[in-house]
Structure 1
Amino acid sequence: MKCLLLLLAAFHSDAFTLNRCVPRASTTSLYAADGPPQYDKFQATLSEAEKVGEGSFMLHIDTEDVVEYEPGHVLALEMEAPNADGDDVDSKTSEDAKQNGGWMRGPYTVSRSTDKSIDILVKVVGEKSKLFSIATPGTPLRFGGKFKLPIVEGIDTDTTKRVVLISTGVGVGPCVGAIEKAIEQESFPPIDLIASYRTEDEIVYKDHLEKLQKEHADKFSWKAIITSEQGRISSTADNLRVLTDTNFKSGLEDTHYHLIGNGQMVSEFKAGLQAAGVKDDKVTVEMYFNHKAEIDADAVSRIAAAAALEVAAVPQ
């Protein structure tokens, strides 16, 4: 059986910062016969699968053990397949469930966490995510592993005057958790969230974000891009004005960008920001899917031009 570390790496092709999650009890340490140890598995229970947007559900999970996760960490989440051999799900999930004692599993990004709870935002795109979304309170779950660098931890606050979070779809989940953490820190730089959705109905946590913006106007602002109406963020120069249309002033050298969601968006923005002169340590990324999508050179050029306007936005 493949080590799930390899499964996670396949879903998240950028290098992980790997840390061990070590709750205090109720663990089962599993080892691969032909490789390194697998992640320890910890017991949990679904508190609620809350619908927070069209097709998007926040899984509120109660853990049996004390955990230490932050928004942006990636973990492996497991739930029993409808029957022991996993035949009620798609072939890939079924095969993996058969090799995992009848438990479906996959890599998911933490949206927020307390010492005994974890929230994970999922989009219904297949049978496995559908089963998570319709699971009832009390459903047993298992989880383990701790991968990737948390969003807030990846930002150097000493050299950053503004943070721009750019997300597609459920990539907004970890961004919301990171925003909630950041506004509690007096010295954390202000944040602009640019969240992209296909339709208006898919917007996640709209009321919550509006409330945060109203209560913390000096620390946080957000905008939604509806691609079915406006096209992708990078599709026009007008759309890309959201990068510099802000009350929070900064320059090219002291703006940090976090890109999360569709791999094409992440790759194009990463390339465009690099072309504009943004330093590598000012760009952090996480791809959810579409890792191998071809980059649109015109989109990269538009992004570079828009980001370069950051310099003009700084008062002289």
Structure 2
Amino acid sequence: MPHLSTPVTLLAVMAATTATLGGCAWGGEDGKDTRPPAAPRGLTVQAGSATTAHVMWNQATDDTEVTGYEVYRDAEKVKEVPGGEHMVDVVGLKPSTTYTFTVRARDAEGNVSEDSRKLSVTTPAAAAADRKPPTRPAALKGEAEGSRAAMLSWGRSSDNRGVASYEIFQGGTKIHSVGGQQTATLVTGLRPGTDYTFTVKARDAADNFSPASGEVRLTTAAGKDSGRGTAPTGFRASTHSKDGAYYIDLSWTPPRTGGAVTEYQIQLDGRTATSLVFGGTAPQDKADHSFYIGRQSGERHRVKIRPKLPDGTWGGYSPERTVTTGRP
């Protein structure tokens, strides 16, 4: 069942708190920047092998400039990454071990953000004396999803001990990693009207890499499309009443991402109302959700949703729908 992380009734309190904080001064007496960056969002972690993990996050914001990121494994800082990057491979891990990762942003004055959310990952078991790499991923295909994303899919590789992960490359640069059971992924953060070349490699638990797949070349759509290629489709909204209370009912088809979409953000009447998080197995073909809106008949509301994609970024919003309580 899904759960709501921020009840709608808290919106007024949150808005008042934000207004109060907006009047605070962050500069020191000598004009020095003392305001820390925002905590990095969208953290994702994927075990790459028995001894490595791929950590990704969204670039943080700051009133001046984010100059670096600090990556922590449990309570220990294990990596420092320049401010222009937002991913890193953490090596030297132990097989069959669970690790918890967090990331902090740092600015030029040395101000450090709060921790990102914490994510845990368990490395696979070691493969003793394994020097045989996986086979090359076959039949890589790619399709632009609007102007800022692309959907990639490939044939499954085989390995004598099992594939631990697939590494996605843009040109010669690794940009993403997915689990060994996944053979498709949505790549985001692309530029409109731009040519891209992608390849994929399979990796096993002993850090053996397959040869690169064949290249796939594609061009993103020109112009701005507000991320519609990553938005839910078939979005519908209606209302129903029960015991004198009114509820808004939503249904939609999740976007294609290569993996499950477990979190959505609901926007109500032009403001972010809540996050919807599916526990257990998230729906992949059709999703639905119902939430309480009040006890007044004849109230008009606007609602739309957007998904959190597997790489931690937000997808595009669905079309906005309008409903009125007390009406079908």
Report the TM-score when normalising by structure 2. 0.27
Report the TM-score when normalising by structure 1. 0.28
Higher helix share: 1
| Greater Rg by CA | 2
